[in-house]
């Protein structure tokens, strides 16, 4: 048995130093190997998840370009990170825009994606990832509840600034039992996304995109 | 084989991770808002515990007692990270459900507790059996606490189980009380303390009724607390 041969050495400081060094070396190699053999697959899954997420808010019938190719970065103090705008085109005509953004929730940053028609009406909103309390605040996920679909069809025009709040704060969106901060953050994020989109429309690239809009797209 | 019987008796009841040793309360209280969440956390912990106990028992002759703690910690952290990466890469659908829990396993002191008090002193088959028993014991307590909180808090049992176990298990999802408003307290953290407290009280009541069996062969190497 190997343990017998090592016993006389195990109390030596040198043995212990070597043991610690060897343990760190072995786990580093294991982690490098693990990362090498999984990172490609993990990033493929993440891209696939992103496209699948995009497909949920943006019907495939609305575009035939690669929305991940034509993007713009929009920043705002309200958001946790600059938002990414992706342009969807149907035969070269501007047909919709998707906006990926992140806002601070209760347990961490909530990443979400929303799609709007060129005129700023929401096609849909979905949560990409979050670290909110499981079972309590995860009703923002489409798989757990249909709360997130209450945003469909909303726009800055048909919903006034004060209505962009949860009901507890006097707005028109429901909060959850035991979780107000999470839906409040999502509502704020969606509202901010629409404001950013409206601001982007008045920039050069926004006006250029609007000029390629189809006559009946709105 | 009474040794194995004793190991399973300890793991599932007498010296249960959550109700006897009072370990792993952080993940226990944090994720048990539903029975499904409890089951997910339980399965993930069981898998990690089985791996760490087996590995640590296999290399126990090499590890010197003076530096065992850093070596065990780095081994456990590595196993958790590798399991996290492997599930993310190859079982991505499962990862979308369990992903949240896997990182939490690092906070599970029961894993380190079993490594330190059992696996580092016992041969591999016993260490693996101990991991299985402790993991199953932890899982049933998680499911029980999750179930109690879910019924009181949302009126359902095993909601969203098909996300975790696949669509074959959709029949598990039951609504116990239809149109139920829910007791908010049960889902909030205090509800977890209360549910666990009731479970422990019930366990102690049962233990008092049972004829006391003081022939615990392995008790000396399983410290409480």
Do residues A173 and A166 touch, judged by C-beta distance below 8 A?
Answer: yes
Where chain B has pLDDT below 70, the residues are: 1, 212-225
In a domain, B154, yes or no: yes
| Residue B82 belongs to some domain of the structure | yes
CA distance A164 to A171: 6
Note whether B187 contacts A177, CB cutoff 8 Å. yes
Q: What pLDDT shows up at residue B222?
A: 46
Instruction: Decide if A180 contacts A168 (C-beta within 8 A).
Output: yes
How high is the pLDDT of residue A28? 95
Q: Which are the contacts of A17, defined by CB distance < 8 A and separation ≥ 6?
A: none
Within 10 A of A168 (CB to CB), how many other CB atoms are there? 12
Burial B28-37 (b: 16+ CB within 10 A, else e): bbbbbbbbbb
Q: Do A41 and B82 touch (CB under 8 A)?
A: no
pLDDT in the model for residue B149? 92
In order along its 218 residues, chain A shows pLDDT tens digits of 444 567 778 888 899 999 999 999 999 999 999 999 999 998 888 888 878 878 888 888 888 888 877 888 998 888 988 999 988 898 889 999 999 999 999 888 999 999 999 999 999 999 988 878 767 788 898 888 899 999 999 999 998 888 999 999 999 899 888 888 999 999 999 999 999 999 999 998 888 888 888 665 44
Contact B121, B130 (CB under 8 A): no
Give B164's contacts (C-beta < 8 A, 6+ positions apart).
Answer: B36, B39, B40, B94, B97, B98
Helix B68-90 × helix B35-58 angle, to 10°: 130
pLDDT at site A215:
61
Asked whether residue B206 is domain-assigned, the answer is yes
B114 with B134: CB under 8 angstroms? yes
Tokens 């049933």 belong to which residue? Answer: B140
User: What ipTM describes this predicted complex?
Assistant: 0.74
Put simply, the answer to whether A134 touches B61 (Cβ < 8 Å) is: no
Write down the pLDDT at residue A24. 94
Name the domain count of chain B. Answer: 1
What the block records as the tokens of B119 is 């696996």
Residue B133 lies in a domain: yes
Of all helices (H) and strands (E), which one includes residue A126?
strand A122-129
B81 to chain A: which residues are within 8 Å by CB?
31, 34
Expressed in angstroms, the distance from the first to the final Cα of chain B is 27
Name the residue of chain B whose CA is nearest to A39's CA: B89
Residue B94: partners with Cβ closer than 8 Å, 6 or more residues away: B87, B164
Q: Compute CA distances B201 → A84, A199, B17, B204, B207, whole Å.
A: 53, 60, 15, 5, 10
Structural domain span for residue B56: 2-220
Residues of A in contact with B90 (CB under 8 A): 38, 41
A interface residues, B as partner, C-beta within 8 Å: 1-4, 6, 10-11, 15-16, 19-20, 23-24, 27, 30-31, 34-35, 37-39, 41-42, 45, 131, 133-136, 143-144, 177-178
Residues of B in contact with A45 (CB under 8 A): 88-89, 92
**DSSP bridge pairs for A125:** A114
Q: What does the radius of gyration of chain A's CA atoms come to, in whole angstroms?
A: 24
**Matching residue, tokens 């226990």:** B28
Angle (CA) A58 A62 A68, round 5°:
60
B12 to A98, B2, B9: CA distances (angstroms):
51, 15, 5
Q: Which helix (H) or strand (E) holds B183?
A: none
Q: Is residue B225 part of a domain?
A: no
Q: Which residue of A has its CA nearest to B61?
A: A3
Residue whose structure tokens are 């760490």 = B52
Q: How far apart are CA A136 and CA B52, in angstroms?
A: 32
3-class DSSP state of B141? helix
> pLDDT at position A4, please?
57
Give B116's DSSP letter. Answer: I
- Helix (H) / strand (E) element for B13: namely none
B165 within domain boundaries = yes
Closest CA to B138 of B114, B160, B121: B114
**Where is B224: in which H helix or E strand?**
none
Instruction: Confirm whether B210 is domain-assigned.
Output: yes
Interchain CB contacts (distance < 8 Å): A and B: 84
Q: Looking at CA atoms only, how far is residue A166 from chain B in angstroms? A: 19
User: Between chains, do B82 and A31 touch, taking CB under 8 Å as contact?
Assistant: yes
Q: Across the strands, what pairs with A98?
A: A86, A115
């Amino acid at each position: 048995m190997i343990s017998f041969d090592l016993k006389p050495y195990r109390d030596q400081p040198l043995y212990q130093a070597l043991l610690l060094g060897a343990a760190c070396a072995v786990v580093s190699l294991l982690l490098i190997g693990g990362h090498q053999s999984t990172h490609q697959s993990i990033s493929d899954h993440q891209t696939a998840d992103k496209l699948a997420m995009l497909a949920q808010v943006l019907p495939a019938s609305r575009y035939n370009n690669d929305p991940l190719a034509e993007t713009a970065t929009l920043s705002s103090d309200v958001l946790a990170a600059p938002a990414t705008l992706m342009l969807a085109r149907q035969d070269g005509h501007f047909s919709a825009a998707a906006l990926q953004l992140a806002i601070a929730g209760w347990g961490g940053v909530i990443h979400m994606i929303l799609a709007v028609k060129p005129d700023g009406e929401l096609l849909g909103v979905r949560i990409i990832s979050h670290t909110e309390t499981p079972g309590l605040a995860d009703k923002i996920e489409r798989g757990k509840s249909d709360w997130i679909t209450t945003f469909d069809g909303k726009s800055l025009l048909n919903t006034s600034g004060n209505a962009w709040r949860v009901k507890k704060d006097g707005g028109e969106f429901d909060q959850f039992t035991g979780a107000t901060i999470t839906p409040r953050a999502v509502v704020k994020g969606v509202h901010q996304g629409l404001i950013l989109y409206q601001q982007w429309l008045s920039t050069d690239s926004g006006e250029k995109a609007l000029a390629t809009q189809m006559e009946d797209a709105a | 084989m009474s040794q194995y019987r004793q190991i399973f008796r300890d793991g599932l009841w007498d010296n249960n991770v959550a109700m006897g040793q009072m370990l792993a309360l952080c993940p226990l209280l944090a994720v048990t808002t539903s029975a499904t969440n409890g089951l997910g956390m339980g399965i993930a912990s069981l898998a990690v515990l089985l791996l760490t106990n087996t590995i640590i028992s296999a290399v126990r002759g090499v590890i010197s007692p003076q530096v065992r703690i850093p070596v065990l910690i780095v081994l456990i952290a590595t196993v958790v990270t590798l399991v996290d990466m492997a599930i993310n890469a190859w079982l991505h659908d499962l990862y979308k459900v369990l992903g949240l829990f896997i990182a939490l396993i690092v906070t599970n002191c029961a894993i380190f507790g079993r490594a330190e008090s059992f696996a580092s002193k016992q041969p591999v088959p016993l260490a693996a059996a101990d991991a299985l028993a402790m993991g199953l014991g932890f899982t049933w307590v998680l499911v029980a606490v999750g179930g109690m909180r879910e019924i009181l808090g949302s009126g359902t049992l095993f909601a969203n189980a098909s996300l975790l176990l696949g669509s074959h298990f959709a029949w598990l999802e039951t609504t116990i009380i239809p149109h139920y408003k829910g007791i908010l307290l049960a889902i909030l953290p205090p509800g977890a303390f209360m549910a666990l407290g009731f479970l422990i009280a019930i366990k102690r009541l049962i233990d008092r009724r049972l004829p006391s069996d003081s022939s615990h062969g392995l008790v000396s190497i399983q410290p409480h607390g």
